Structure 1
């Protein structure tokens, strides 16, 4: 497996550079030239899912396929319920180039695409971020948003108070290490956390809409990153209807998140004149994931990882 400097790649600098690589790929049209079939999911009788997400890019000379298993419930003593790997091949030679850890690719991709969308949609003077959730993806939300906005306050809320307080400590440590300490507030409710914020990030496993406060500012930007299906979602349907919704891929969003996303715009709108004025409107990034972003992330990781030397 290809070795990565995880300290370096999880930095704000790396997230910014990966977000720029995504923006450049969208601007140059290399994303439209990729071959990205729908993801395949096979589920067994026990509820375990086996997932395949391939993508081929002639511009990057790269074929990747993120493959994963998702257990229906934890196995005692076995740790995480998700295991993922991303083998990489050269398009021109067919040669196997290495295999990356799927969790690393996913986490960095989510942080970087959050940075890209937030930078194009959130008001330039946004200073207050609320995060619903306290897991791995919640951490990526802080990393992605803080890469593009100078935050003064971060409010955190989740249903597990202990995990929320631990997450708040992590944010304080991360922001201090980056030389940009922020005020972190652990909130007692989602309503308290979200009231009057500039940016709201949701990263939960909730199958029912979260109690998003009704008095969200008209310019608020929302990153909706949690798992959702055609029957379940983190945000109320009315909030989606009243917002400009951006997705990675429209076909995937409709198939996996339902018809409520039928009028969404794809990511490439963010690099076009059509995005002018988004910072003054209510915007929602409703992420369902797409393999073309995994491919760009893999290409960026490989190009920024030193080649091992042998004595």
Structure 2
């Protein structure tokens, strides 16, 4: 069995290879993704429990994989990160273990790649100006992911902490991007061809009134019912797409507008699988505004893990 640490895992996942790998697996109807398992493990001292998430997926006749993510709220007091993950890949016929790899790198890179994959169908072909909200691991990867599919020329970064926004902008400049911090969120949203949100916000940050015609809004962070990155106006007079239909049941960005009648399930244009299988169109006109809401799927983890194993 091969073992890949974080650096080795990341090295096998350049976006130029990862995005096509995601597309191929989304287009493959044979890929199976059952519901994830959630387990709570009590803390011996009565503190907050360890929550373990098990996310399986398999491609019959080829590979079976499971990502295990452990969330330990008590780790802050221990001086440790609160989240740890690992990915196990097996032969789907024999059950033989093939590889163990870093789950955090798998998650962050496939998340950014899924947004870029959606943008190949939804963002205007000449999209050059990218606004990133957030400064975490996924946010830091978004410019490179988008640059693999669109002619990104300028990047602006907004965060609640101006110092963190400036630090990420400096890091992006070191990577060769023309990047700067954006102190005025409304002005930055109005400027952008693509607005990509990777935050943990619980109240809307982006207002639909700020979005420019023909823009593309990418919502990554709202993966629970309590989280929101966009207000209701972001979903009015727009074309809505999701990574999977599970987004309609999990994301606060969609649950709120659905409950208030701003959108209905019938307003969903397509999933990422529909787009990759060419059973539904993406952007249809030059001036339409598009929204892509993702909550993540184990299919993306499997695609990334298979790429790591094959390359290593």
Same fold (TM over 0.5): yes
Rounded Cα–Cα distance in structure 2 between residues aligned with 1:227 and 1:72: 19
Rounded Cα–Cα distance in structure 1 between residues aligned with 2:282 and 2:38: 37
- Native 8 Å contact 1:110 1:140 kept in 2: no
Q: Which runs of 5+ in 1 are unaligned?
A: 177-181, 306-311
2:289 aligns to what? 282
Rounded Cα–Cα distance in structure 2 between residues aligned with 1:232 and 1:69: 20
Q: Judging changes above 3 Å, is the alpha-carbon distance between structure 1 residues 42 and 243 closer, same or farther for their aligned structure 2 residues?
A: farther
Rounded Cα–Cα distance in structure 1 between residues aligned with 2:236 and 2:210: 16
2:273 to 268, 279, 295: 268
Instruction: Compare 209-218 and 122-131 and name the one that shifted more.
Output: 209-218
Secondary structure, in 3 states, of the residue corresponding to 2:209? coil
Instruction: Compare 34-43 and 163-172 and name the one that shifted more.
Output: 34-43
- Native 8 Å contact 2:31 2:57 kept in 1: yes
Equivalenced residues, count: 293
1:254 to 248, 258, 274: 248
In the TM superposition, residue 171 of structure 1 has moved relative to its aligned partner by: 0.6
1:38 aligns to what? 35
Instruction: Compare 208-217 and 111-120 and name the one that shifted more.
Output: 208-217
Q: Judging changes above 3 Å, is the alpha-carbon distance between structure 1 residues 165 and 213 closer, same or farther for their aligned structure 2 residues?
A: farther
Secondary structure, in 3 states, of the residue corresponding to 1:275? coil
Q: Judging changes above 3 Å, is the alpha-carbon distance between structure 1 residues 279 and 18 closer, same or farther for their aligned structure 2 residues?
A: farther
TM-score (norm 2): 0.85
1:309 aligns to what? none
Q: Which runs of 5+ in 2 are unaligned?
A: 259-263
Rounded Cα–Cα distance in structure 2 between residues aligned with 1:75 and 1:284: 35
RMSD: 2.4
- Native 8 Å contact 1:194 1:213 kept in 2: no
Q: Judging changes above 3 Å, is the alpha-carbon distance between structure 1 residues 119 and 276 closer, same or farther for their aligned structure 2 residues?
A: closer
Secondary structure, in 3 states, of the residue corresponding to 2:124? coil
Answer yes or no: is 1:292 the counterpart of 2:294. Answer: no
Secondary structure, in 3 states, of the residue corresponding to 1:233? coil
